[in-house]
Amino acid sequence: MGKKSIIPFGPQHPVLPEPIHLDLVVEDEVVLEATPQIGFIHRGLERLVQTKDYNQFIYVAERICGICAFGHSMGYAETIERLMGVEVPKRAEYLRVIWHELSRIHSHILWLGLAADAFGHEALFMHCWRLRERVLDLFEKTTGGRVIFSVVKVGGVQRDIDKSMLDEFISVLDGIKDEYIQICNAFLNEPSVYNRTAGIGVISPEDAWNLSMVGPFARASAVNYDVRMLGNGAYGDLSDFQPILSNNCDCYARMEVRAAEVPQSIDIIKELAARIPAGDIAVPVKGAPDIDAEACNVLEQPRGECFYYAKGNGTKYLDRMRMRTPTSQNIAGMAVALKGCDVADVNMIVLTIDPCISCTER
Amino acid sequence: MKFESEFTPIALDELHHEAAVMKVDGWRFIQTHAVNTDNGIDLYYSFMKNGHIKNLKVAGVTKENPVPSITDLFLAAFVFENEARELFGVDMRDIAIDFSGALYAPAIDEPMTIITPEQKAAREKARKAKAAKEAKGDEASAPASAEGAPRIFVMTPERRQRLDAKLATMSPEKVAKVEAALKAREAEAAAAAAGAPARPQKPLRRPLPTLARLRPLLWKRLPSKPFRSTTTSSPRLRSSTLTRPRRCAPPSPPATARHLRQPNWRQGRRLRSSMPLSRTSLH
Amino acid sequence: MGYASKSPWVIHYDASSCNGCDIEVLAALCPGFDVERFGIINTGNPKHADIFLVTGSVNERNISVVKQIYDQMVEPKVVVACGICACTGGIFHDCYNVIGGVDKAIPVDVYAPGCAVRPEAIIDAVVQALGILEEKSKALKESKKGA
């Protein structure tokens, strides 16, 4: 029976890109209990619906999180379109999905880099982020921004991608793919990485279902759910979409699932770019949502399923806008996974849920 | 192909029972949130099964009504229930992981229940406009034969003069568009006069609300620190040390998790003696 | 050029930011823009750092944290506010939980606006901060000589 002590972790820590505080109750290097304390990023932006109307709020929605920025703007726009019964042109839907899948690729490569930094492999972190710069160049060429794009509006998108640009997308992504597979070998076929990640932070499939986990975090525990299966928007036009699952339920499985989602996204972009229809990229949206009109929407962001709810009140300002992000759903899973692990594994487990605390706290 | 969603109102005392039924039926818990209304707080509990979203809505919850927590069924709800309590003032009972008001510790209490006066005025106005429209709709539906004839647009000389003055300032494409639209309307008017069915009447354009017209004059920066008290109970003093959640009631893990023992590192090393091949093919 | 501005070490903290500026700060350190070739390393220890890169409009809980990190840094030190949220509060300046900029919590030396701030702007800001660091270092030496 060893001595219990409490180690505070965060909010400022070199491995944490975001402030989160964990009190680790530790007994001889084994963590007994870890209660997360958040609240360092709560800006209270859901109340900004009172000062910004439904067209302006999309800029606020984008800035909930810099990594999932495009996902939030797309989800918000889709929710308002459902609320007001607006039908978006097909080309706009395809463009949105292409950018969203590119955003997913960028997010997963970013995460792989941070995971490498977490288990000490700094050179791999540098390689991943160097690869990510090529994806950010694509964003900059088509939207003008590297991180925050502001290219989606209620009713469609603001910019078009022409044929030559789409061909450039495909050639750049093909160029990335070879290097990416080499980097994945360094992650997945490397004994030192395997020793750090296999068998760590195991959450069984029943627990994953009971704790309502979402995203690659849940799919690594064999939960067969991916919002893209529901076929919303241009995802419904894909010839075949199967979510990537794994039965291993540990940190290594989560790394595998995220690593494998990148080639899947590249294939989705190629398929949609080949079949994109010509047409308008936006429809004008006039008027305001009805009083007591409600709508909800789900979207598969890189971190998991994101839920949006909007309520109108007859004015140009929304009554309520709610965004439930995947990390807030996964926090319960993280608290359970941290029980009984070693202190050295804490930051690895925290990172494998792909935490986006600014999304959780808004 | 889009998924379907529905909003089902239920009563507060049915909440826990309904959530238990959802769990047994295999619905997946999505989220919980609160909406501030004039009659209290509306709580929404969202579930999903087979691509169908069902939202259970508990309307009109006030501070006098304690709300039972569903964290005994769905542990993932603890974040949202703590948030509803802190930002909306909902009296949630028995949350499994209870932060006791220290989840966000915002600068003002129950911030989401505060609505600015301009917003209140705008909402009142919208409600009145809708009520007036509905009343008009009731009156107009009775004498349908007298008022049912569509409005016919007549181009008087004064109107034509005004239009010509405007067109002189516009670009040639716009001028062409306007002329085409006018011709189409005249053709329709002639057809209506000849007895052909008229096109469905476009609704009258709603006048801009006064607030929107005055917005540039009213636009002012809201004070950056509203409602901050200068007494000793100031939030800054309260939050000067990092407050920690109550530790006397640690979360008891769900029964299924008890079998989840982490293999200690020695046992783990033994398990990891052989390297598996990578299951996913990346080529 | 004195010793203070050769190979300055940087400490980065996200004070209620959306992460956009943070990933741009990290991107500045990565091979794409590579400030590490100048000897700039991202350290986690405030006592080892010369430059404090803050992002984000500071919220109630973060005021004490930001102040603590600033107080733990050793003189001479420079603070660079990265991103428009750190400069003035950005799009969130009228949110209830936001105090509206880092300069309401700690003194700031260089402001680098942008949403998200571009790595080129961060590098520019750091170069200006180096000039300020040099001046502060000289002033510190003078004051020590006088005493």
What is the pLDDT, as a whole number, of residue B253?
44
**Residue A39 to residue B104, Cβ atoms within 8 A:** yes
**Boundaries of every domain in chain A:** 4-361
Helix (H), strand (E), coil (C) string for A204-265 = CHHHHHHCCCCCHHHHCCCCCCCHHHHCCHHHHHCCCCCCCCCCCCCHHHHHHHHHHHHHHH
Mutant choice from C59, C60, C69, C94 vs B, greatest count of B C-beta within 10 A: C60
Q: Where is pLDDT greater, at B167 or B226?
A: B167
Nearest-CB residue to A43 (from C16, C19, C21): C16
Q: Where is pLDDT greater, at B153 or C145?
A: C145
Whether B230 shows a pLDDT value over 60: the answer reads no
Residues 6 or more apart whose CB falls under 8 angstroms from that of A37 comprise A20, A21, A22, A23, B99, B102, B242, B244, B245
Nearest-CB residue to B106 (from A21, A42, A51): A42
What is the pLDDT, as a whole number, of residue A105?
93
What residues of C are in contact with residue B235 (Cβ under 8 Å)? 60
- Burial (Cβ within 10 Å: 0-12, 13-18, ≥19) of residue A170: middle
Whether B224 shows a pLDDT value over 50: the answer reads no
The residue of chain C nearest to residue A43, with distances taken between CA atoms, is C97
The residue of chain C nearest to residue A37, with distances taken between CA atoms, is C61
Selecting from 1.10.645.10, 3.30.360.10, 3.40.640.10, 1.20.1270.10, what CATH number does the domain A4-361 have? 1.10.645.10
What residues of A are in contact with residue C22 (Cβ under 8 Å)? 17-18, 66
For every residue of B199-210, DSSP letters joined together read: PPPPPPPPPPPH
- Helices A163-188 + A90-118 axis angle, to 10: 30
- Please tell me the pTM assigned to this model: 0.78
**Residue C19 to residue A19, Cβ atoms within 8 A:** no
Share of chain C above pLDDT 70, in %: 98
Q: What is the dihedral of CA A105, A59, A63, A212, to 10 degrees?
A: -70
Whether B270 shows a pLDDT value over 60: the answer reads no
Distances (CA, A) of A289 to A318, B59, B204, B237: 8, 21, 17, 42
Torsions phi, psi for B193 (to 5 deg): -60, -35
* Segment C99-147, tens digit of pLDDT: 888 988 899 999 999 888 999 999 999 989 989 999 998 998 888 887 6
What is the pLDDT, as a whole number, of residue C75?
86
CB A44 within 8 A of CB C97: yes
- Contact of C95 with chain A, judged by CB distance below 8 Å, is answered with yes
Residue B259's identity, in one-letter code, is: H
* CA atoms of A33 and A335, how far apart (whole Å): 8
* CA atoms of A314 and B253, how far apart (whole Å): 45
* CA atoms of B183 and B113, how far apart (whole Å): 54
The verdict on domain C10-146 having CATH code 2.170.130.30 is no
- Contact of C54 with chain A, judged by CB distance below 8 Å, is answered with no
- Contact of A141 with chain C, judged by CB distance below 8 Å, is answered with no
* CA atoms of A141 and A146, how far apart (whole Å): 9
pLDDT (mean) for A243-262 = 88
pLDDT (mean) for C27-54 = 88
**Residue A314 to residue B33, Cβ atoms within 8 A:** no
What residues of C are in contact with residue A40 (Cβ under 8 Å)? 15-16, 59, 61-62, 65
In the stretch 199-238 of chain B, residues with CB closer than 8 A to chain A read 206, 209, 212, 222
Nearest-CB residue to B226 (from C63, C64, C96): C96
What residues of A are in contact with residue C99 (Cβ under 8 Å)? none
Token readout for A160 is 């078009």
pLDDT band at B236 (very low <50, low <70, confident <90, very high): very low
pLDDT band at A98 (very low <50, low <70, confident <90, very high): very high
What is the pLDDT, as a whole number, of residue B127?
81
Q: Where is pLDDT greater, at C73 or A334?
A: C73
Whether A108 shows a pLDDT value over 90: the answer reads yes
What residues of B are in contact with residue C89 (Cβ under 8 Å)? 224
What is the pLDDT, as a whole number, of residue B194?
64
- Burial (Cβ within 10 Å: 0-12, 13-18, ≥19) of residue B197: exposed
> ipTM of this predicted complex?
0.87
Whether A163 shows a pLDDT value over 60: the answer reads yes
Q: Is C81 strand, coil or helix?
A: strand
* CA atoms of A115 and A107, how far apart (whole Å): 12
CA distance B227 to chain C (A): 9
Token readout for B128 is 């009145």
pLDDT band at B78 (very low <50, low <70, confident <90, very high): confident
CB A228 within 8 A of CB A243: yes
Token readout for B147 is 């008022």
pLDDT band at B138 (very low <50, low <70, confident <90, very high): low
Q: Is A21 strand, coil or helix?
A: strand
**Residue B103 to residue A38, Cβ atoms within 8 A:** yes
Whether B218 shows a pLDDT value over 60: the answer reads no
Nearest-CB residue to B239 (from C60, C89, C93): C60
pLDDT (mean) for B139-161 = 56
**Residue A130 to residue C31, Cβ atoms within 8 A:** yes
- Contact of C126 with chain A, judged by CB distance below 8 Å, is answered with no
- Contact of A279 with chain B, judged by CB distance below 8 Å, is answered with no
* Segment A260-302, tens digit of pLDDT: 999 999 999 999 988 888 888 888 888 888 888 888 889 999 9
Residue C96 CA, chain-centre distance (Å), reads 25
Nearest-CB residue to C30 (from A13, A130, A147): A130
Whether B240 shows a pLDDT value over 50: the answer reads no
CB B23 within 8 A of CB A210: no
Nearest-CB residue to A358 (from C19, C91, C96): C19
Of the candidates A56, A290, A269, the residue with the CA atom closest to the CA atom of residue A171: A269
Least confident residue range of B44-53, B57-66, B137-146, C68-77: B137-146
What is the pLDDT, as a whole number, of residue C121?
92
- Contact of A60 with chain C, judged by CB distance below 8 Å, is answered with yes
Of the candidates A304, A333, A310, the residue with the CA atom closest to the CA atom of residue A323: A310
Residue with structure tokens 């050769």?
C6
CA distance C143 to chain A (A): 32
pLDDT (mean) for C5-15 = 88
Of the candidates A128, A35, A120, A189, the residue with the CA atom closest to the CA atom of residue A345: A120
**Residue C61 to residue B226, Cβ atoms within 8 A:** no
What is the pLDDT, as a whole number, of residue B195?
57
Whether C52 shows a pLDDT value over 90: the answer reads yes
Question: Beta partners for B5?
Answer: B53
What is the pLDDT, as a whole number, of residue B140?
52
Cis before C76 (ω within 30): yes
- Contact of A47 with chain B, judged by CB distance below 8 Å, is answered with yes
In the stretch 213-272 of chain A, residues with CB closer than 8 A to chain B read 213, 225, 229-232, 236, 244, 246, 256-257, 259-260, 263
pLDDT band at A1 (very low <50, low <70, confident <90, very high): low
**Boundaries of every domain in chain C:** 10-146
Residue B212's identity, in one-letter code, is: A
- Burial (Cβ within 10 Å: 0-12, 13-18, ≥19) of residue C31: middle
What is the pLDDT, as a whole number, of residue B171?
78
Residue with structure tokens 């180096």?
C130
pLDDT (mean) for B258-283 = 40
Residues 6 or more apart whose CB falls under 8 angstroms from that of C103 comprise C81, C87
What is the pLDDT, as a whole number, of residue B2?
65
Give the CA count within 13 Å in the CB-facing half-sphere of A238: 24
CA distance B138 to chain A (A): 19
**Residue C24 to residue A146, Cβ atoms within 8 A:** yes
CB A152 within 8 A of CB A77: yes
CA distance A274 to chain C (A): 31
Whether B213 shows a pLDDT value over 50: the answer reads no
CA distance B196 to chain A (A): 31
For every residue of A29-43, DSSP letters joined together read: TEEEEEEEE--SS--
Share of chain B above pLDDT 70, in %: 60
CB A53 within 8 A of CB A317: yes
Q: What is the dihedral of CA A65, C27, A151, A50, to 10 degrees?
A: 30
Least confident residue range of A18-22, B69-73, B152-156, B174-178: B152-156
